[in-house]
Amino acid sequence: MAANMYRVGDYVYFENSSSNPYLVRRIEELNKTANGNVEAKVVCLFRRRDISSSLNSLADSNAGEFEEESKQPGVSEQQRHQLKHRELFLSRQFESLPATHIRGKCSVTLLNETDILSQYLEKEDCFFYSLVFDPVQKTLLADQGEIRVGCKYQAEIPDRLAEGESDNRNQQKMEMKVWDPDNPLTDRQIDQFLVVARAVGTFARALDCSSSIRQPSLHMSAAAASRDITLFHAMDTLQRNGYDLAKAMSTLVPQGGPVLCRDEMEEWSASEAMLFEEALEKYGKDFNDIRQDFLPWKSLASIVQFYYMWKTTDRYIQQKRLKAAEADSKLKQVYIPTYTKPNPNQIISVGSKPGMNGAGFQKGLTCESCHTTQSAQWYAWGPPNMQCRLCASCWIYWKKYGGLKTPTQLEGAARGTTEPHSRGHLSRPEAQSLSPYTTSANRAKLLAKNRQTFLLQTTKLTRLARRMCRDLLQPRRAARRPYAPINANAIKAECSIRLPKAAKTPLKIHPLVRLPLATIVKDLVAQAPLKPKTPRGTKTPINRNQLTQNRGLGGIMVKRAYETMAGVPFSANGRPLASGIRSSSQPAAKRQKLNPADAPNPVVFVATKDTRALRKALTHLEMRRAARRPNLPLKVKPPLIAVRPPVPLPPSSHPASTSEPIVLED
């Protein structure tokens, strides 16, 4: 019961994905929503896998300095690898998560100089932090102040003077006396002088226009004049005048008017005080951030002084009571039952017995972390095409600590430098449906594919390696199989060996003369003009002489669809066309035309009758050769078409034309 009871201030695991590691959060508030659910306002803590590689390097240097200063005992490489999984980074980022996603408690402590790092590995669900991560600025800062030791911060204590030895140092430069307790005045005289100083301060506020606006009543002016700044000024006046009351009285009211002394509570306006309260609610007593984000025109000393004066006002007491009442109305704790639903990443083999799940996943595969071959339960891990799996204990370690027990190549290669999250920890359905343009900000939402074009520009060394190591690279084979990997390291190594020898026998490069781009575009537009779309409902005029016109393609012979002999259509093989077969003179099905607005480039290639006929004349081998080398001219042999002699037809009973008049009889 106590293990499933979660309170404010607890560090807990949150699960946002079935395949991702748990999120470590600290509960700040427990709020009940309108529909009856409980939401937790939490503070975000980040792992090493959540930050960039540059910040990981900074964290490594900080860890090295800590080990040297605290004189940590030596640890193995595997322990050092696991210690990185126990390190967290605190942040000031808040978020609200459903309380039903809580999966257990953990412990997070601030790393102390007296701590031994290896002790964190002996405890379960134990983490530490020493740096603060800013998700907006992408920075890492120390969370605790450092002890400043040295001549810049500590005073140098001189040797003790001997008895009777005089001090030759200038006492006025070293210190200044502000009050003498052995003064000739009595306590009653001092109190009377302080009352006079308060009265002068009240009168000075009545004469000051800005003060009369801020303290419109006499009681407010008298209360402001009774603050410590007035008393300090009165006692300093007595010290400077040798505790002579007559001289001190005249100093309080000089010739120009009474002296007005105001502290930070009077100098600050009401709007500035509201900004300070808002900043204090957000940052707490972090006065550097308060000054940077809310009050940059105020000095740090002024903000600190105003804070301690503000704590003596009724405004502070009222806010403290409101916070206490608000805390009483909120939930103090919540009970979350143990999560028992099966994980979607469980490997369930066909015909497997209970307790031996995943036995038939793939024989010969072991756990990616501990390399065991037997486990009561297996879980899919990593990219789907890698067929990687984890045993039950390593899966729990992955979910809690965000890594594997032993360093593997797959775990390091899956995480990019600019992308903290990798696709290696996603489940198979998620990885297959995940777009390559998905960012780490929100992996549940798939972004639209970017249609912006990109250019792959090679270096001079790469171009030389293509020519010198053609036998290893096999460019034609690689072009046919672009999905097959190429061992670039082996090609680079072989190129470095062959490069000194190739300098004596330079390669023969045949220059290729190409027409300018403007000429090519002009020719393409002239050969393939865009035809305007014919509006619907418009009748297309039919040319009756179209059947007898020569349909040659300017020197390129094509297969004829049919030939007309005395008005009867015949196909190329001499057989008459059936009435149900559509001839080329009949209106063909409407071919889909290309819209120029949808094309990514301003040049649109439209296939004409000539080009379509040319494609039909090409063999399959010639078509593949032309696709591989589009820059070479195409050589096509005209096809030989056998034309059969026309078959004599019986004379038609209805002549097509006659010179005699037609007589219609009634």
Domain with 118 in it: what CATH number? 2.30.30.490
The dihedrals phi and psi of 381, each to the nearest 5 degrees, come to -145, 140
Return the DSSP state at 312.
T
**Residue 307's domain is classified under what CATH number?**
1.10.10.60
Answer yes or no: do 105 and 27 share one domain.
yes
Same domain, 247 and 286: no
Interatomic CA distance for residues 558 and 174, integer angstroms: 110
Quote the mean pLDDT of the chain.
Answer: 75
Both 104 and 196 in one domain: the answer is no
Secondary structure element (H or E) that encloses residue 611, with its range: helix 609-617
Q: Is residue 584 part of a domain?
A: no
Provide the terminal-to-terminal Cα distance of the chain, rounded to the nearest Å: 112
- The Cα 514–Cα 334 span in angstroms is 76
If you ran DSSP here, which 8-state letter would residue 385 be given? G
Q: What is the 3-state secondary structure (H, E, C) of 321-372?
A: HHHHHHHHHCCCEEECCCCCCCCCCECCCCCCCCCCCCCCCCCCCCCCCCCC
Count: domains in the chain: 5
3-state DSSP of 212-227: HHHCCCHHHHHHHHCC
Q: What is the pTM of this model?
A: 0.46
Q: Does 166 or 41 have the greater pLDDT score?
A: 41
The CATH code of the domain that includes 388 is: 3.30.50
CA R_g for the chain: 45
Q: Are residues 124 and 209 in the same domain?
A: no
CA distance 611 to 89: 65
Please, which pLDDT band fits residue 592 given cuts at 50, 70 and 90?
low
Do both 192 and 289 map to the same domain?
no
Task: Answer whether 97's CB lies under 8 Å from 42's CB.
Answer: yes
What pLDDT does 501 receive?
A: 75
User: Do 255 and 292 have their domain in common?
Assistant: no
Cβ–Cβ < 8 Å for 394, 370: yes
Residue 176 belongs to some domain of the structure: no
Give the three-state DSSP class for 97: strand
**More confident: 585 or 93:** 93
Does a structural domain hold residue 658? no
Per residue in 374-387, pLDDT tens? 888 899 988 877 77
Query: Is 402 part of any domain?
Result: yes
Identify whether residues 245 and 282 lie together within a single domain: no
Span 28-45, average pLDDT: 90
Q: Verify that 470 and 389 share a domain, yes or no.
A: no
Q: Give the C-alpha separation, 541 to 204, whole Å.
A: 104
What SS3 state is found at 108? Answer: strand
Amino acid at 455: L
Cα–Cα distance between 363 and 472 in angstroms, integer? 34
What mean pLDDT comes out for the span 134-138? 88
DSSP state of 481: -
Average pLDDT over every residue of 327-348: 85
CA distances from 416 to 401, 419, 482 (A): 19, 5, 23
Residue 635 vs residues 424, 515, 614: alpha-carbon distances, Å? 50, 19, 11
For 477, half-sphere exposure in the C-beta direction (CA atoms, 13 angstrom radius) is: 8
pLDDT in tens, 55-73: 999 999 988 888 888 888 8
DSSP state letter for 61: H
Give which of 342, 339, 347 is closest to 428, Cα–Cα: 347
What confidence score (pLDDT) does residue 569 get? Answer: 44
For residues 412 and 22, the model is more confident at 22
452 pLDDT more than 50: yes
Going by C-alpha positions, the residue among 197, 196, 204, 195 that lies closest to residue 256 is 204
Q: What is the DSSP string of 129-196?
A: EEEEEETTTTEEEESSPPP--STTTSPPPPPPPPTT----S-HHHH------TT-SS-HHHHHHHHHH
Q: Give the mean model confidence (pLDDT) for residues 590-599.
A: 51
Please say if the pLDDT value at position 414 is more than 70: no
Reference 121, options 84, 72, 89; nearest CA is: 84
Inter-helix orientation angle 314-329/270-283, to 10°:
40
DSSP notation for 400-419 = HHSS-SS--HHHHHSS-SS-
Query: Domain boundary at 262, 286, 319, which?
Result: 262
Contact 571, 561 (CB under 8 A): yes
Q: Tell me, what CATH number does 250's domain have?
A: 4.10.1240.50
Of 228, 262, 296, the residue at which a domain comes to its end is 262
| Tokens coding 528 | 């393939």
465 within domain boundaries: yes
Q: Say which range, 11-25, 139-153, 187-201, 323-337, has the weakest mean pLDDT.
A: 139-153
Residues 20 and 124 in one domain: yes
One-letter amino acid of 601? N
Instruction: Determine the Cα–Cα distance for residues 312 and 309; give it in Å rounded to an integer.
Output: 5
- In 3-state terms, what secondary structure has residue 40? strand
- Same domain? 122 vs 246: no
- Is residue 475 one of the residues assigned to a domain? yes
**Which residue, among 43, 45, 47, has the nearest Cα to 55 in the 3D structure?**
47
- pLDDT at residue 588 in the model: 46
Residue 363: what pLDDT? Answer: 53
CA dist., res. 372 & res. 389, Å (int): 11
Q: Which domain holds residue 85?
A: 5-142
**Residue matched to tokens 């080398």:** 629
Amino acid at position 1, single letter? M
- 85 and 115 in a single domain? The answer is yes
**Domain for residue 401, yes or no?**
yes
Domain shared by 97 and 129, yes or no: yes
Where helices occur in 408-487 by DSSP H, the ranges are 409-413, 428-433, 460-468, 470-473, 475-480
Residue 585 pLDDT > 70? no
Do the domain assignments include residue 27?
yes
Q: How far lies 331's CA from each of 1, 3, 222, 325, 419, in Å?
A: 17, 18, 45, 12, 38
Give counts: helices (H), strands (E), the chain.
24, 13
